[in-house]
Amino acid sequence: MLTVLAYLVVGIFLVGFAHRIWLYASCPAPLKIPTTPAPVTTSGVVWRLFTEVAFFNSLFKGDKWAWAGSYAFHGALVLVLLRHLRYFVEPLPAFFAHIQIAGIVAGLVMVGGLGLLLLRRVLIDRVRYISSPADYLWLLLLLGIGGSGLLMQFCIRPDIVHIKAAMMGMWSSTEATLPTLMVGDFIFIAHLLMVAALIVLFPFSKLMHLGGIFFSPTRNQVDNPREKRHVNPWASN
């Protein structure tokens, strides 16, 4: 049952994600609209996109609080997910021993960053005015995942050995079972269900900025309209 659900969740994610990327890629960009000052060469555009992904450049220029919260969240998320590999990989690479403490601190930073983003949305009038229910839903869902994770980490321990066996069982497609005896295991099941909801809804949500950033004409166009004529895809035939 768990195996079937896991494949279903990952399947919906992969098909949905690929479909959205296809839509982005096939959407024509009729105008030259890079946000200036913009790079005048292709390698400049690659560098621009890299700094955008690595440092959240334009967010930094636009909104320091949003930048601080989201940079803390995304940076910490990378470490948290890296540490989670221990549930899916056997034997673990040697470097794993060295990232354990950093991974736990990252869990705290991740939840702190999300808290900051939620406070910003609630406390700043003009941000609250443009916030939709979905904006709150994502923050609350991620806070639920992070909060239940920290609860398991610091307060109520789940049966980690059984959890690893269940996750490894999903790979080999044998029938994996979830532990349900201790309180910590119920928290784990809540953690897992929230993660499943996140993965299934991902392709239908604003979280698609993960792939969408690379298709944004204001970021991925070379600023060369004087050197090279930009042909509107609708006008070319």
Residues that bind ligand HEM (CB under 6 A): 77, 80, 83-84, 87, 103-104, 107, 110, 142, 145-146, 149-150, 152-153, 158, 160, 163, 167, 188, 191-192, 195
Q: How far is the CB of 237 from ligand HEM (least distance, A)?
A: 45
66 versus 152: smaller Cβ distance to ligand HEM = 152
Cα 85-110-58 angle, rounded to 5 deg? 110
**Cα–Cα dist 45/38, whole Å:** 8
Contact criterion met (CB below 8 Å) for 161 and 232: no
Choose between 20 and 191: whose C-beta lies nearer to ligand HEM: 191
Nearer to ligand HEM, 4 or 27 (CB): 4
Question: Closer to ligand HEM at the Cβ: 112 or 217?
Answer: 112
Whichever of 21 and 156 has its CB closer to ligand HEM, that residue is 156
Q: How far is the CB of 151 from ligand HEM (least distance, A)?
A: 8
**CA dihedral over 17, 104, 110, 188, signed as positive or negative:** positive
Q: Which residue of the chain is nearest ligand HEM when measured via CB?
A: 149
What single string gives the DSSP state of each residue in 81-125? HHHHGGGT-SSPPGGGGGGHHHHHHHHHHHHHHHHHHHHHHHHSH
Q: C-beta of 111: minimal distance to ligand HEM in Å?
A: 6
Smallest distance, ligand HEM to C-beta of residue 215, A: 24
Helix pair angle (64-84, 100-123), 10° resolution: 150
Strands (E), 12-98: none
Q: Least distance from C-beta 6 to ligand HEM, angstroms? A: 8
The minimum distance between CB 48 and ligand HEM, in angstroms, equals: 28
Residue 170 CB contacts under 8 Å (≥ 6 apart), including other chains: 2, 3, 6, 176
Name which of 38 and 76 has its Cβ closer to ligand HEM.
Answer: 76
Tokens standing for residue 193: 């269900």
Q: Among 179, 157, 163, which residue's Cα sits nearest to residue 84?
A: 163
